[in-house]
């Protein structure tokens, strides 16, 4: 860049030599030097070698809303899962590895699923045309993002069977979505403004924080329950939490709960569900009922869907929204298939647009249409699933009882809510976290502490047992016994 000298004032002599020339020149030179320093360097000659210095380049920053997502998840739920991955137990290749009791998944009926898939998989994916050839267009071409109509019909019939045949589900009120996680997020996005809150009876599933808070900016407010009431939520507890939220300037827009409860496993009574619906109408808020464990019941207590209560109640049912999926009852978490069911047509319309970001692949939908429509197999599977989960639950709970460790009363889910307070070094959150670490390091077991579920009473742990083989249960009890013996000496 060349410096331009303003000599016109000197030649003409306006304002005198000092005022007319020196001062303007100084100002102009300073301006030229400033611009020279600010200008980018000239491009290198084409013949000269190019060098790069990525270490000195300025990194491109994330948006403010994405920055928190770069931080590691600090919940013991995720910490335990990651620790178990580093040293996983295997009956043959790693007998001393960490036994995973932190993940609610089931392998109990894989024999039935394997048989069905072997016999029906290809016919489910493709339909033969006149010449007997497969029609690839059925799975290769665009389909409605909100799900195939045939799958909605199949889901509606299946959900009615799961829930005792006492409620009819209208396929037109359904949106098919890739799992319960995005289903909860879509409902939170559709029902709750950024900065507003949802009441959640606690202890509650740790994943709700991840599923809802990451992108919606919605706050979750725990509604604490106690072991003296078997961790069952009451309307008075909801009222108190709502009032406290109002004092903090937080507007509550919805109530979210899982039924059967995760992690406790208790089942809400018809009366409790009706009281919650009545409370929601009085406060003009929505209800999100996560019923993903509806078919995993094993006790004597009846499971009642909020849809059934809404249909039989005089309350406004348009505020009721239900989530269901196949990851638990049908042991198919890898299929990523779930349902948003809402009586509110605007919510259904909004969900249909949002689901394009989390739609279920068409080949998976085609398989599920055939699977859920096979009523004979469905009845066989559900009967076996309930019988096997009941048997596994009895074996696991009895093993803990022999160690002097009680469990909360439960009737559903793939887990037990275990009272290990007798093993705490101190009755506090610190004592619970110390026990969590001893379970991982000494007993080589990943059981999720109640702290991760916002439980206010120290010493409770969720233990998922439906991925264990029968012969693994005595091993689990033997490992826990390592911790019980020193505490009693």
Q: H or E element: which one contains 325?
A: strand 320-325
Known catalytic residue at 205: yes
Burial state string for 223-252 with b = 16 or more CB within 10 A and e = fewer than 16? bbbebeeebbbbeebbeebbeebeeeeeeb
* Angle, alpha carbons 339-344-346 (nearest 5°): 95
**Residue tagged active-site, from 205, 324, 415, 454:** 205
pLDDT in tens, the chain (489 residues): 444 444 334 333 444 444 455 455 555 555 555 555 555 555 544 444 444 444 444 457 888 888 888 888 788 999 999 999 999 998 889 999 999 999 999 999 999 999 999 888 887 777 655 556 677 777 777 788 889 999 999 999 999 988 877 889 999 999 999 999 999 999 999 999 998 999 999 999 999 998 898 888 899 999 999 999 999 999 999 999 999 999 999 999 999 999 999 999 999 999 999 999 999 999 999 999 999 999 999 988 889 999 999 988 788 899 999 999 999 999 899 999 999 999 999 999 999 999 999 999 999 999 999 999 999 999 999 999 999 999 999 999 999 999 999 999 999 999 999 999 999 999 999 999 999 999 999 999 999 999 999 999 999 999 999 999 999 999 999 999 988 875 444
**Dmax over Cα atoms in the chain, in whole Å?**
109
What is residue 69's predicted lDDT score, i.e. its pLDDT? 81
pLDDT at position 439 is 96
Q: What is the model's pTM?
A: 0.83
Q: How far apart are CA 139 and CA 50, in angstroms?
A: 50
* Cis bond upstream, residue 270 (ω within 30): no
Cβ–Cβ under 8 Å, residues 197 and 221: yes
pLDDT of residue 124: 79
Listed by start position, the domains of the chain span 1-32, 74-109+379-488, 130-375
Type and span of the H or E element at 340: strand 338-342
Dig out the tokens for 246 from the structure.
């109002």
Instruction: Read off the tokens for 158.
Output: 């299946």
> Which residue, 480, 470, 411, is CA-closest to 447?
480
Is the CATH number 3.90.1150.10 carried by domain 74-109+379-488?
A: yes
* Residue 339 parent element (H or E): strand 338-342
- What is the structure's pLDDT at 23? 54
**Cα–Cα distance between 416 and 409 in angstroms, integer?**
9
- Using an 8 Å Cβ cutoff, are 80 and 428 in contact? no
Q: Is 162 helix (H, G, I), strand (E, B) or coil?
A: helix
Residue 488: exposed, middle, or buried by beta-carbon count in 10 A (0-12, 13-18, 19+)?
Answer: exposed
Between CA 142 and CA 485 the distance in angstroms is: 61
Distance of CA 260 to the CA centre of its chain: 16
CB contact set of 74 (below 8 Å; sequence gap of 6+): none
pLDDT of residue 299: 82
Task: Find the catalytic residue in 317, 328, 392, 444.
Answer: 328
pLDDT tens, residue by residue, 86-106: 999 988 899 999 999 999 999
Catalytic residue among 211, 290, 329, 419: 290
Q: Give the pLDDT confidence score for residue 24 in this predicted structure.
A: 52
As beta bridge partners, residue 97 has none
Q: For the domain bounded by 130-375, which CATH number is listed? A: 3.40.640.10
pLDDT of residue 432: 95
DSSP 400-466: HHHTT--B----BSSEEEEE-GGG-SSSSHHHHHHHHHHIIIII-EE-EEGGGGT-SSTTEEEEE-T
DSSP letters spanning 20-54: IIIHHHHHHHHHHHHHHHHSPPPPPPTTSPP---G
The first and second tokens of residue 394, run together, are 């009895």
Question: What is the H or E stretch that residue 363 is in?
Answer: helix 362-373
The 8-class DSSP code of residue 91 comes to T
Catalytic residue among 184, 292, 367, 405, which?
A: 292
Q: Say which residue the tokens 């004597």 belong to.
A: 300
Pairing relation of β-strands 338-342 and 174-177? Answer: antiparallel
- What CA–CA distance (Å, rounded) separates 246 from 112? 51
Query: CA–CA separation, 414 vs 328, rounded Å?
Result: 8
Euclidean distance between CA atoms 198 and 71, whole angstroms: 24
Three-state DSSP class for residue 295: coil
Q: Would residue 46 be called left, alpha or beta, if left means φ above 0 and alpha means ψ between -120 and 50 degrees?
A: alpha
């Amino acid at each position: 860049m060349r410096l331009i000298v303003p000599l016109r004032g000197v030649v003409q002599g306006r304002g005198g030599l000092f005022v007319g020339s020196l001062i303007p020149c100084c100002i102009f030179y300073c301006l030229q030097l400033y611009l020279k320093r600010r200008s980018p360097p000239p491009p290198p000659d084409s013949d000269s070698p190019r060098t790069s210095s990525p270490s000195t380049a300025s990194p491109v920053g994330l948006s403010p809303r994405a920055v928190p997502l770069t931080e590691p998840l600090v919940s013991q739920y995720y910490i335990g899962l990651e620790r178990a991955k580093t040293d996983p137990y295997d009956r043959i290749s790693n007998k001393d590895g960490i036994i995973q009791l932190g993940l609610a998944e089931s392998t109990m009926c894989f024999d039935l699923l394997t048989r069905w898939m072997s016999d029906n998989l290809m016919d489910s994916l493709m339909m033969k045309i006149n010449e007997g050839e497969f029609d690839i267009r059925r799975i290769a071409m665009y389909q409605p993002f909100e799900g195939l109509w045939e799958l909605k019909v199949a889901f509606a019939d299946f959900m009615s069977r799961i829930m005792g045949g006492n409620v009819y589900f209208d396929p037109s009120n359904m949106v098919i979505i890739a799992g319960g996680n995005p289903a909860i997020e879509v409902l939170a996005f559709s029902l709750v403004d950024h900065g507003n809150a949802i009441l959640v009876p606690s202890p509650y599933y740790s994943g709700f924080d991840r599923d809802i808070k990451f992108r919606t900016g919605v706050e979750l407010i725990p509604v604490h329950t106690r072991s003296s009431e078997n961790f069952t939520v009451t309307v008075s507890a909801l009222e108190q939490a709502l009032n406290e939220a109002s004092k903090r300037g937080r507007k509550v827009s919805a109530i979210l709960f899982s039924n059967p409860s995760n992690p406790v496993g208790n089942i809400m009574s018809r009366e409790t569900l009706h009281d919650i619906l009545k409370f929601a109408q009085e406060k003009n808020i929505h209800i999100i009922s996560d019923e993903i464990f509806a078919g995993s019941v094993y006790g004597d207590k009846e499971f009642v869907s909020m849809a059934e209560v809404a249909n039989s109640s005089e309350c406004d049912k348009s505020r009721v929204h239900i989530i269901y999926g196949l990851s638990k009852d049908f042991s198919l978490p890898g299929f990523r298939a779930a349902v948003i069911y809402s009586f509110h047509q605007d919510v259904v319309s909004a969900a249909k647009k949002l689901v394009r970001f989390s739609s279920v692949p068409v080949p998976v939908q085609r398989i599920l249409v055939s699977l859920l429509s096979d009523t004979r197999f469905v009845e066989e599977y559900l009967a076996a699933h309930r019988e096997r989960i009941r048997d596994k639950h009895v074996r696991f709970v009895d093993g803990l009882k022999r160690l002097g460790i009680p469990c909360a009363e439960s009737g559903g889910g793939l887990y037990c809510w275990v009272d290990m307070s007798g093993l705490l070094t101190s009755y506090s959150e610190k004592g619970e976290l110390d026990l969590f670490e001893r379970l991982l390091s000494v007993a080589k077991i990943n059981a999720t502490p109640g702290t991760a579920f916002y439980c206010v009473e120290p010493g409770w742990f969720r233990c998922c047992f439906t991925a264990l083989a029968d012969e693994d249960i005595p091993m689990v009890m033997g490992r826990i016994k390592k911790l019980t013996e020193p505490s009693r000496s």
